[in-house]
Structure 1
Amino acid sequence: MIRESFTAVVNPAAGSGAAAKTMIDLAKVLRETGARVQVTYSRGLSHATELAAAAASSGDAVLAVGGDGIVGAVAAGVLGTEAELGVIPAGRGNDLARAISLPRDDVSEFAAALRESASRPVDVALAGDRVVIGSVCTGLDAAANDAANRWRLPRKPIAYQIAAAGVLARWKPLTYTLTVDGITEELRGNTVVVANCPWYGGALKVAPAAILHDGLLDLVTIGDLNRRRLVPVLNGMKHGTHVTMPGITSRQIREVRIETDRPTPFYADGERLPAGPVTVRVQPGALHLIGA
């Protein structure tokens, strides 16, 4: 199969403006191979969804250009259609792109892969009405994401880890009420993550067992560990070894409702969600992802 027509939905602010240049270079090479390419620029997440939906209805493959937030927004636009989604990583975290086998270092090889690589049906998560392709989190990690967005930190993955170190100094655990596939339990802890993809927070392998196409989500919790014990957990996330440490649990689920005993941010694909509680559920095989 050779794809002939693409519409790119670009977040012009992603990567401090690098996303637009990335797509300009890629579009040039795609056109040189004979493909038709339309490049559009989003004014926000809801606009990105609208642009993606319009492209999907025209039969184009739809490219999400930017960070993980715009990938989720574009996924919402192609959900329920036969349109294929391609991911062009050009943001700060780019965590979903790590789960996709496309050669991104050479623009000519990348263009060829976008035209020729097979796509596969993959799952998404729904957090309320938000389509999530990577993960939902609340607790220490969400507070760090909040800080990374507010502080003047480098627009690189390390920003999340710098923010986590700053937040940790003042952090206090939460009491969570989790209703997991209909069964309610209580957890005193630091973080709850619902993952569709192994990575989050800029290359942290929070859910090493997560698979995009297994029809399940991975629920990872970090219990009531003190700061001294949290530091090796955060370091272990770089390689996914934290899930073997005391106080960490990881299991596969289909749905979870998350409530907290105090107001705290909830994040999905690096974007803030409305205040909790939030219910996250899997929608299996919901979209066709190029290179998955």
Structure 2
Amino acid sequence: MRQFTAVVNPTAGSATGAAALIAVARLLREAGADLETVHSRSLPHAGDLARDAGRRGRIVLAVGGDGITGAVGGALSGTDAVLGLVPAGRGNDFARALHLPTEPEALARVLLEAEPQPVDTIELRSAVHDRTVVLGSVYAGVDSLANRHANQARLLRGSAAYYAGGLRAVTTWRPARFRVTVDGAEHMHRGYTVVAANSGYYGSGRIIAPRARLDDGLLEVVMIRHAPRRLFFTLMNELKTGAHVDRPEVEVLRGSQVRIEAERPVPYGADGEVDADLPVTATVLPGALRTLY
């Protein structure tokens, strides 16, 4: 029978994570599985706990949202350890990309019965982050500002926080000039944002890259050019379905390595947590993470 170590999110949302874990934990134990729970002091500490559990041959459960999922999954990338998810965060976008069920019974069945499948991860290198591994996407521009505002929101959760953050970011954004190098080919871009997506989802269920796949060894590079703010808000609404990629203001490229630079200091983020300024280089690590889904 499987042995699990649940790593619980250290942030204020840990109460939600603990509540989500209780229901799943009961079902896992009733099925005969061994489950231990550890609480991290920070996301880097969560990665340390995950590596330790993985070395002991235990399946590591990331309990929370995309931040702890990225920290735990990044720590396990390139090892033989197995990642499982108990989604309990504000966005849960990586869990959404895996099509994980939200009901405790169905999720417990996945954790108990599914065979580990390899998925890609993303290695980031920059002046601030010598080497960081993330799971979902890397985004630079107005959406990284929106994510920063959403993380600072106290009274809003889920998509409402991301939408409010987006409104605040767009009203103050000035178009930036980006140099985007995809597998050695340079592309100049002036506009709102550049996203290198492993997962199709970000921002609490918004479909930024509808053709992205977690196991194809490629990133979908979505670039939104400068446009009147009114049109940009329309594009934001189209992120609900992914229809924005058909607009002429949106260009989509594909590649295994993407470098994003800008003419002025522009922030970038990844998995809802990494917060630094460009430039950054993102490289796919094909099939680097064994995952239950």
Aligned to 1:124: 121
Q: How far off is 1:52 after superposition? A: 0.5
The range that moved more, 182-191 or 6-15, is: 6-15
Alignment partner of 1:202 is 2:204: yes
Aligned to 1:213: 215
Structure-1 separation of matches of 2:285 and 2:193: 23
Scaled by the length of structure 1, what TM-score is found?
0.95
Alignment partner of 1:114 is 2:111: yes
Q: How far off is 1:142 after superposition? A: 0.7
Match of 1:52 among 32, 35, 50: 50
Deviations 1:141-177 (A, max 9, x none): 1111111122334122221011111222222111001
Deviations 1:56-94 (A, max 9, x none): 101111111111111111012212222211111111000
SS of corresponding position for 1:138: strand
Structure-1 separation of matches of 2:96 and 2:5: 22
Q: How far off is 1:118 after superposition? A: 2.2
Aligned to 1:256: 258
Structure-2 separation of matches of 1:146 and 1:102: 26
SS of corresponding position for 2:5: strand
Contact kept in structure 2, 1:136 and 1:195, CA below 8 Å: yes
Structure-2 separation of matches of 1:101 and 1:266: 26
Unaligned runs of 5+ residues in structure 1 are none
Structure-1 separation of matches of 2:214 and 2:143: 22
Aligned to 1:274: 276
SS of corresponding position for 1:20: helix
What aligned pairs does 1:230-249 form with structure 2 within 5 A after superposition?
230-249=232-251
The range that moved more, 245-254 or 197-206, is: 245-254
The range that moved more, 215-224 or 73-82, is: 73-82
What aligned pairs does 1:138-153 form with structure 2 within 5 A after superposition?
138-153=140-155
Deviations 1:161-206 (A, max 9, x none): 1111122222211100112111222111100001000100000000
Deviations 1:208-260 (A, max 9, x none): 00000001111000001120211111111110000001110112111111111
Structure-2 separation of matches of 1:33 and 1:20: 20
Equivalent AA in structure 1 for residue 139 of structure 2? C
SS of corresponding position for 2:54: helix
Scaled by the length of structure 2, what TM-score is found?
0.94
Contact kept in structure 2, 1:140 and 1:191, CA below 8 Å: yes
Q: How far off is 1:14 after superposition? A: 5.5
Equivalent AA in structure 2 for residue 126 of structure 1? E
Equivalent AA in structure 2 for residue 19 of structure 1? G
SS of corresponding position for 1:274: strand
SS of corresponding position for 1:225: coil
Unaligned runs of 5+ residues in structure 2 are 126-130
Q: How many residues align?
A: 288
Structure-2 separation of matches of 1:253 and 1:169: 32
Structure-2 separation of matches of 1:177 and 1:102: 36
Calculate the aligned-residue CA RMSD, in Å.
1.4
Contact kept in structure 1, 2:223 and 2:250, CA below 8 Å: yes
Contact kept in structure 2, 1:144 and 1:164, CA below 8 Å: yes
Equivalent AA in structure 2 for residue 48 of structure 1? A
Q: How far off is 1:16 after superposition? A: 5.9
What aligned pairs does 1:1-292 form with structure 2 within 5 A after superposition?
3-13=1-11, 15=13, 17-105=15-103, 107-128=104-125, 129-291=131-293
